[in-house]
A and B are shown apart, each in its own frame.
Chain A
Amino acid sequence: MVFEQKHILGLEELSSDEIRLILDTAESMKEVSERDVKKVPALKGVTVVNLFFEPSTRTRASFEIAEKRLSADVLNFTPTESSVVKGETLLDTARNLEAMGASVIVIRHSMSGAPWLLARELSSSIVNAGDGFHEHPSQALLDLFTVREIKKEISGLKIVIVGDILHSRVARSNIWGFIKLGAEVRVVGPPTMIPRDIEKVDVKVHYNIENALEGVDIVMMLRLQKERQESGLFPSLREYSRFYGLTRERLGLAKADVIVMHPGPINRGVELSSEVADDMHSVILNQVSNGIAVRMAMLYLVASGGGSG
C-alpha cells in the first residue's frame, strides 16, 4: 500500500488502512531507534521546519529527534510574541519558511484549523502537531501504537476518555483513531465539558465515571486546564477530582489488565490520585520512545510517499 496523503492534518481524514500503515511503518522505525546507529538517510536533503506557536517542549523535541534520525535538515522556528506584535500573519511566516526551502512544515498552533490554512495556501507538506481543540494526530497515533504493542489488537477493545473532552485535541484525534480501528469508545466528564452532538460519531457519553469505567481495557485521562474553572465549567478542583478523578478503587471497575494513559503533564491529585499516577509510570516512559518512532513514520510517509513525492 502506498500512502497517498500529502499532509497529515488529522485522523478524521485518514482511512483505517492509512492509520495501520503509519503504525506498521512506526514499528520499523522503532527497530531503527533500537540500533547502535540510530540514523537512516530517508529524508536526506529534505528541509523540515518545526513551526511551534505554542510552547511544547516534549512534542517539539520528539519531532526534532525523529527528523534528525531520518537525516532531514531541521529548522526550528518558534515565533516570539514580538513577531506576532509586528503583525506578521501566519501565512506570511510560513511562506517565508517555504522560500527558505522547507518542504515539510510541522505546525503547532493554538487555533483550530491553522494547519488547514497552510495546506490550502502553500505547496509544502503539512504535519499537524496539534491545533487548538481540534486534532493532535501524532499524539493519537502514539497512543494507538502503544496500545497495539501491549494489546496486540485494537479492534474490540473498550476505551474510556475521561475529562475535558470539549477543549481536547488529544481526545478528538483518539476518538477518530480508536473508532476507525474498531474499538468501542466512551467519553465521561462534566456535561459542561462534553462537546455538542459527540455521540453522532458513535461515541457513548457518560456523566458518571463509575458507569463509564465498567469493563474497559483502556482509560485515557485528559489534563484538566485550571482556567476552565474561571470560565465556569466546573466549580472547584476539589469537586472535580471527587467526581471525575481516577482512584485505585474506581480503577477496580475496569478490566484487570487495564492500561491507564495520560498525555501529560499530570495534575497529581486532580485527574489521578498519586497512587494511580505512580502505577502508570511504565506506560508513560514507553510512550517517549514510541513517540519518536511514530513521528518518524509520519514524516517519512508524507515526505517520500504522497503528493510531495
Chain B
Amino acid sequence: MKILIKDGQLIDPSQEINEVRNLLLSDGKINGYPSDTKELEMDSSVQVIDASGKVVSPGFIDLHVHLREPGFEHKETIRTGCLAAAAGGFTSVVCMPNTNPVNDNASVTEYILLKARTEGVVNVFPVGAITKGQKGQALAEIGEMREAGCVAISDDGRPVMNSRVMRHAMEYAKAFELPVISHAEDLNLSSDGVMNDGFTSTILGLRGIPNASEEIIVARDITLGELTGTHLHIAHVSTAGAVRLIRDAKKRGVKVTGEATPHHFTLNDKAVLNYDTSTKVNPPIRSREDMEAIREGLKDGVLDIIATDHAPHTEDEKKVEFDLAPFGISGLETALPLALRLVEDRILTLTELIRKLTFNPAQIIIRSNRGTLKPGAPADVVIFDPNKTVKVDRDKFFSKGRNTPFHGWRLSGQILYTIVGGEIVFSA
C-alpha cells in the first residue's frame, strides 16, 4: 500500500524543510520525496492525495492525555480517545497512569498496549506511575514497566509530596533512561481550591489555588533534577513564576523541559466568571499576566512542547455545583486550531509551532524515530488546512468527553488527513 501526497507545503522541523514537496509513503514508512510522480499516479495501487495549498507535517505527538481506560470507560476508552486523537491530527499519544487500577506495574501497561493495538487507531505510549497506587510512598516497579513499554514515569494528578520519595524516584529512573514528568502542585497549599487564587476567585467566592502551589514544586523538582541529573519534564506549566524558574534552570544547564496546554495559553481566569464548570481544570486557568508569560515561554523556547492534558469527563459529571465538578478539559480535538492562534498572534512561526507538536515531544519522551518525515521513519503524517475556519462543536467530538470551554468558538485550522503507519485513520 502506497500513498502519494502531492504538492503540499511540507513542513518538517526535524530536517528544517519548509517547501512544496511531494511525499511518498510505502509499507508503513516514509519512502521519500519524488519530484516526478507521473508513473506513481498511473499505478492503481497508489492512493494519491492532492495536498496543494495544504500543510503536510509529521503527525502530532501529545505527551499528556488521559485515556481513562482501565477503570473509567464511561469517560473515555482507549478506542474513543484514539479516535479523538486522530481527529485532532495526533498520531501518537502518551497516556497518564491515573487509571483504575493505576498503571503502576507491567501487567497494567501490557493491558493498555494490548487494547491500543487491537482497538486504537494511533500509537499509544503509556506513562508508568512513580509510586505504587500513586500514593506517593513506595516506588512502583519502574524497570518492569519500562520493559513493558512505558516511556516515562509520572504521578500526574496526585503528585509526590514527599521530597525524599521524589529524589529516589528520579535517581532510580536514571538507570532506565526514563524522564520524570512532574505535575507540580503542593497539595497542602492547593487544599480544597477549585480555581486560580486571585481577584476572580474573590468575586466568585470560590476557593483559590495560588500560583505558589505550582511554583514551590517546580522549584523543588528542579532542585532534585540538579541533584540527580535526571531529565525532568514539567507538565502543564500555568504560572509566570514557573516559566521563570524553568528559564533560569535551563540557563544553568539543568536537564529540564516544559509543556504548555492550549487552554493555559488561550484563556485567563475571567472565563470562570459564570461558574462554567468546563473551565474547571488543574492546574487552573490563571490570570492574563500568567497567560502572557506562557506565550512568552513558548516563544523563547523555555516551554518546549504543546500538549493537551486531554481530560475527558461526562456531561453529568460536569453539570453540577462548581465545587463538585471534576477537573479537566477535553482537549484533543481543539488543539491545532487553538495553537494556530499563536501563529496568528506572531508568537510562533508555523514551523516553530509544528516543532513543538512533533519533533520536540518525540525528543523528550519517545527515544525513537517519530516526529519526523525522514525516509525510513514510520509513516505518521498529518495534512491540514491552516486557513479553513471551523466552528468548535462538542457534539461532533469523537471523544466521550464533551467538556470544552471552546464550544461555539470560530477558529482557523482543519485537520484533513491523519495517517498512522501508512494507514489513513482520519479524513475530514
Residues on A with C-beta less than 8 A from B274 are 116, 120
Q: How far is the CA of A257 from the CA of B325 in the complex (A)?
A: 48
CB <8 Å contact, B202 and A198: yes
Q: Quick one: given A117-B319, A196-B199, are A112 and B208 in contact (CB under 8 Å)?
A: no
B28 contacts chain A at the CB level, 8 A cutoff: no
A-B contact pairs, 29 of them (CB 8 A): A89-B316, A89-B319, A91-B319, A91-B320, A111-B322, A111-B323, A111-B324, A113-B275, A116-B274, A116-B275, A117-B320, A117-B321, A117-B322, A120-B274, A132-B205, A132-B206, A133-B206, A134-B204, A134-B205, A135-B205, A172-B203, A195-B201, A196-B197, A196-B198, A197-B198, A197-B199, A197-B202, A198-B202, A200-B199
A131 to chain B: closest residue by CB: B205
Q: Quick one: given A111-B323, A132-B323, are A172 and B205 in contact (CB under 8 Å)?
A: yes
Q: Quick one: given A89-B320, A112-B323, A117-B275, are A196 and B203 in contact (CB under 8 Å)?
A: no
Residues on B with C-beta less than 8 A from A113 are 204-206, 275, 321-322
Beta-carbon contacts under 8 Å, B293-343 to A? 316, 319-324
Known: A111-B322, A112-B206, A132-B205; 15 extra A-B contacts, CB below 8 A, are A89-B319, A91-B320, A112-B204, A112-B275, A113-B206, A113-B275, A113-B321, A117-B319, A117-B322, A120-B274, A133-B206, A134-B204, A134-B205, A196-B199, A197-B199
- Which 8 A/B pairs are nearest by Cβ-Cβ distance? A134-B205, A113-B275, A133-B205, A197-B199, A195-B202, A112-B205, A111-B321, A116-B275
Q: How far is the CA of A200 from the CA of B208 in the complex (A)?
A: 17
Q: How far is the CA of A134 from the CA of B194 in the complex (A)?
A: 14
CB <8 Å contact, B205 and A169: yes
Q: How far is the CA of A12 from the CA of B199 in the complex (A)?
A: 14
Q: Encode contact with B along A84-127: 1 for CB under 8 Å, 0 otherwise.
A: 00000111000000000000000001011110110011000000
**A residues whose Cβ falls under 8 Å from a Cβ of B:** 12, 89-91, 109, 111-114, 116-117, 120-121, 131-135, 169, 172, 195-198, 200-201
Q: How far is the CA of A111 from the CA of B321 in the complex (A)?
A: 7
Inter-chain contact total with CB atoms closer than 8 Å: 62
Main secondary structure of the interface of B (DSSP, over half): loop
Q: Quick one: given A112-B323, A113-B275, A114-B321, are A196 and B205 in contact (CB under 8 Å)?
A: no
Q: Quick one: given A116-B274, A196-B197, A196-B208, are A109 and B321 in contact (CB under 8 Å)?
A: yes
Residues on B with C-beta less than 8 A from A120 are 274
B191 to chain A: closest residue by CB: A231
Q: How far is the CA of A117 from the CA of B324 in the complex (A)?
A: 12
Q: How far is the CA of A131 from the CA of B321 in the complex (A)?
A: 11
A231 to chain B: closest residue by CB: B191
Q: How far is the CB of B359 from chain A (nearest CB, A)?
A: 40
A197 to chain B: closest residue by CB: B199
B322 to chain A: closest residue by CB: A113
CB <8 Å contact, B321 and A196: no
Q: How far is the CA of A133 from the CA of B205 in the complex (A)?
A: 5
Residues on A with C-beta less than 8 A from B197 are 196
CB <8 Å contact, B322 and A112: yes
Q: Which of A114, A121, A135, A169 has the most chain B CB within a 10 Å cutoff?
A: A114
Q: How far is the CA of A92 from the CA of B212 in the complex (A)?
A: 38
Q: How far is the CA of A90 from the CA of B324 in the complex (A)?
A: 11
Residues on B with C-beta less than 8 A from A90 are 320-321
Residues on B with C-beta less than 8 A from A172 are 203, 205
Residues on B with C-beta less than 8 A from A121 are 319
Q: Which of B206, B275, B322 has the most chain A CB within a 10 Å cutoff?
A: B275
Residues on B with C-beta less than 8 A from A133 are 205-206
B197 to chain A: closest residue by CB: A196
Residues on A with C-beta less than 8 A from B199 are 196-197, 200
Residues on B with C-beta less than 8 A from A89 are 316, 319-320
Q: How far is the CB of B208 from chain A (nearest CB, A)?
A: 7
